[in-house]
Chains A and B, each alone.
Chain A
Amino acid sequence: MLEQLTLQDTVLDAAREVFETMIFMDIETSSDACPSITGESLLGSITFKGDLEGCLAVCVSQSCADRIAKNMLGMEADESLTIEEACDAIGEVANMVMGSIKSRLQPLYPTLEVSIPSVITGRELKNTLGERAVKTIVCAWLDGQEAAEFSFLYRKSASQKTQ
């Protein structure tokens, strides 16, 4: 089983690589309890199967999603953005963070097949995987202002359990 501390670092390193390279935002973990994401929010998730099965999700507030999308697209702060553009951007963030996690897990788990990302909007959104799932949550601040939650849920696949 993956060590939780190592997995937390893996998720954080992957998120940091994506945010610093493509979104131009600093990312720091929260030393306190997870900052709450209140009001309308977006949850981008992507599932994987193979040596492990589970899902990665990125949850941010609507305002944070707008900021991420504008940074990714090189838009000015006062330019208008559609909800579809914000959703598409959060889906891509989930996709890239998962891709980065996958490459870091490759030596331990070489076979991980990743789905196409999906995004939902609403309030108090949670990433779940049912019973016996191992859950790693990384709470972070983006540019010291906006809260973001990265949750990586997994369980060993049937083929791995028998080994």
Chain B
Amino acid sequence: MAKSLMIVDDSATMRKIIMRTVRMSGLEFDRTEEAGNGKEALEKLQASPVDIVLCDINMPEMSGTEMVKEARKIDCCQATKIIMVSTESAEELINSVMADGANGYITKPFTPEKFQEKLAPFMN
């Protein structure tokens, strides 16, 4: 089944790296979107929802943690799987964002294998 993906990160370079790593993991998406912060991501999701969001935490305007909370209040984002991708690795933070509605967590630096492991369960 065709899947769509959105990458949310304030660094354009990191968005490209994530896209490249997703491709290297062997996962395929028929549509990909990008956003530079949580606010932009929510606007794009409301206009055109996606299946999976890969979202940074530490971003200007609206952080990834705020974005998860807001997304879970919006009807069109209820089924969207949100995987956080961040340098932050504190267990307390990970538990908190998962409790707020994130579906997974990947720490930077990451590998294609890590993306495969975390995203594959949501590809069917």
Contacts and interface: CB of A to CB of B under 8 A. Distances in A.
Interface in A7-33: 17-18, 21-22
A63 B94 CA distance: 37
Interface in A87-118: 88-89, 91-92, 95-96, 98-100, 102-103, 106, 110, 114, 116
A74 interface: yes
A72 B89 contact: no
Interface in B1-36: 10-14, 16-17, 20
B47 interface: no
Contacts of B88: 99, 102, 114
- Interface size, B (range): 20 to 34
B59 to A, nearest CB: 8
Interface string A101-143: 0110010001000101000000000000000000000000000
Main SS at interface, chain B? loop
A130 to B, nearest CB: 25
A69 interface: yes
Given A99-B107, A103-B107, 19 more contacts: A18-B109, A21-B110, A22-B17, A72-B17, A73-B13, A85-B13, A88-B12, A91-B13, A95-B11, A95-B87, A95-B108, A98-B87, A100-B87, A102-B87, A106-B90, A110-B90, A114-B87, A114-B88, A116-B10
Interface of B: 10-14, 16-17, 20, 58-60, 86-90, 107-111
